[in-house]
């Protein structure tokens, strides 16, 4: 059962998100705040699993709000401004929802949260050592799982964990995105953002500053753009 905190200065936005959460079975509680200062004081003393956070708010932006938290919950940005995706993912948000938010897109973001929390408890980690050219072993409890590089589409870094997306599943493993990059073949993967590593073969086109992979929109960081264009010969 998940505890949510929703912060948005627009009453209608709060109402919509509250309504979406009421349609879900695993929501324990929802705390709504139209004032960022009140929400910040609440989170200094209360635990929450998920934070739904607007960015453009008076007095304190969502960016500043998140930076002010010493141990923030899993955070999903909700905003009308697409250009904040870069900063959001650099702050470790798990997803970025662009207003107006459909229930289907909202549900997909919450599914991502559920998957992360469920997989996190498995104590999964990549085995150190020299990987084979085609695969690496992932240790999950007492099991060893062979992870083929050609099955991986992209990797998202999130705090002290990484979410490895494959064609069949998602794997949450301990370790930074930098560690993953060093263990994966450089010829097959490219770092496109501080928080994202992407398989070269799944990049079919770039839309502005984003890579579209199925339902995933992956931002290209400003400092990575030149290297991405060079490697992909754009």
Taking 70 as the threshold, does the pLDDT of residue 180 lie above it? yes
Taking 80 as the threshold, does the pLDDT of residue 76 lie above it? yes
| Spatial separation of the C-alpha atoms in residues 192 and 219, rounded to whole Å | 7
List Cα–Cα distances, 194 to 24, 78, 128, 139, in angstroms: 32, 21, 22, 25
- Residue 204 DSSP code: -
In the chain the first and final C-alpha atoms are separated, in Å, by 46
Strands 50-54 and 74-79: parallel
Ordered by start, the domain boundaries in the chain are: 2-120, 124-232
| Residues written for the chain | 234
Residue 9 CB neighbour total at 10 angstroms: 16
pLDDT at site 128: 65
Residue with the larger pLDDT of the pair 13 and 226: 13
Pick the CATH number of 2-120 from 3.20.20.140, 3.90.1170.10, 3.90.1150.10, 3.40.50.2300: 3.40.50.2300
Task: Give this prediction's pTM.
Answer: 0.74
Pick the CATH number of 124-232 from 2.40.50.1020, 2.60.40.420, 3.40.1360.10, 3.40.50.12780: 2.40.50.1020
pLDDT tens readout for residues 186-205: 889 999 999 999 999 988 87
Residue with the larger pLDDT of the pair 119 and 157: 157
């Amino acid at each position: 059962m998940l505890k949510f905190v929703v912060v948005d200065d627009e009453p209608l936005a709060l109402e919509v998100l509250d309504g979406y959460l009421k349609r879900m079975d695993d929501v324990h509680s929802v705390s709504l705040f139209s004032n960022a200062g009140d929400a910040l004081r609440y989170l200094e003393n209360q635990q929450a699993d998920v934070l739904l956070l607007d960015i453009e708010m008076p007095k304190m932006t969502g960016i500043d709000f998140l930076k002010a938290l010493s141990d923030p919950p899993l955070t999903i940005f909700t905003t009308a401004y697409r250009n904040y995706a870069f900063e959001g993912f650099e702050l470790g948000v798990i997803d970025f929802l662009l207003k107006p938010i459909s229930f289907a897109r909202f549900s997909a973001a919450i599914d991502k949260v559920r998957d992360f929390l469920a997989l996190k408890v498995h104590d999964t980690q990549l085995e150190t050592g020299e990987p084979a050219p085609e695969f690496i072993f992932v240790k999950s409890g007492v099991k060893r799982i062979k992870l083929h590089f050609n099955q991986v589409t992209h990797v998202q870094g999130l705090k002290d964990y990484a979410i490895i997306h494959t064609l069949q599943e998602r794997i949450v493993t301990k370790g930074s995105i930098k560690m993953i990059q060093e263990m994966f073949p450089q010829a097959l993967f490219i770092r496109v953002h501080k928080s994202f590593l992407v398989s070269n073969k799944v990049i079919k086109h770039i839309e502005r500053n984003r890579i579209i992979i199925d339902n995933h929109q992956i931002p290209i960081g400003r400092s990575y753009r030149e290297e991405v264009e060079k490697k992909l010969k754009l």
